[in-house]
Amino acid sequence: MKELILIRHAKSSWEVPMQDFDRGLTCQGINDAHLIALHAKDFLPKSYTIWCSAAKRTTSTALIFAQNVGFPLDSIIYKHDLYTFESKQLEKVIRSCPKDIDNLIVFGHNNALTDFVNKFGSVPVGNVSTSGFVAMQFESEDWNFKKKGKTIKVLFPKDLK
């Protein structure tokens, strides 16, 4: 059994002209990330591996989760190839996860996350919102999904306000 948790970065700012990769979080984004992290605690497996896009908004979101959930900052593995908006690239990265890892948390971007959740999950999701949390389980020995998994939890900030 494999469990995959996908977390979209918190709301980011477009106010300052800069490269997309370097955009930071808004105050609302910071608050929403804290809110989701506090509620997501109960849905995390006992042990897990954490992969995070290297973009500033995803790394900031992962740090907020670490602060609230209590995972060590040095346990976060930053991957430049997770800075993608394409589900095929996201699939490729997830499929590269070693077989001996059973629980993987990925901090990433849309549209890749929404497309992945709808392709491999059991619950259709119109859009994985910023700070959105989706947990899925797969009856598989490895990360090369042969069939859809089961969506076990969906948490969005709007559902908690």
Q: Please compute the mean of the pLDDT values over residues 42-59 and round it to a whole number.
A: 95
* HEC sequence for 58-104: HHHHHHHHHHHHCCCHHHEEEEHHHCCCCHHHHHHHHHCCCCCCCEE
Residues of the chain with pLDDT > 90: what percent? 89
Higher pLDDT, 4 or 161: 4
pLDDT of residue 146: 83
Q: What is the pLDDT of residues 73-98, one digit of tens each?
A: 999 999 999 999 999 999 999 999 99
In whole angstroms, what is the distance from residue 46 CA to residue 70 CA? 12
Residue 127 DSSP class:
-
Q: Is the pLDDT of residue 103 over 90?
A: yes
In whole angstroms, what is the distance from residue 105 CA to residue 52 CA? 8
Q: Is the pLDDT of residue 15 over 90?
A: no
The residue among 13, 60, 61, 11 whose CA lies nearest residue 40 is 61
Q: Is the pLDDT of residue 14 over 90?
A: no
Residue 143 pLDDT grade (very low, low, confident, very high; cuts 50, 70, 90): very high
Residue 145 pLDDT grade (very low, low, confident, very high; cuts 50, 70, 90): confident
Higher pLDDT, 116 or 147: 116
Q: How far is CA 62 from CA 120, 128, 145, in A?
A: 23, 16, 25
Q: How far is CA 149 from CA 2, 25, 45, 140, 155, in A?
A: 9, 31, 16, 9, 17
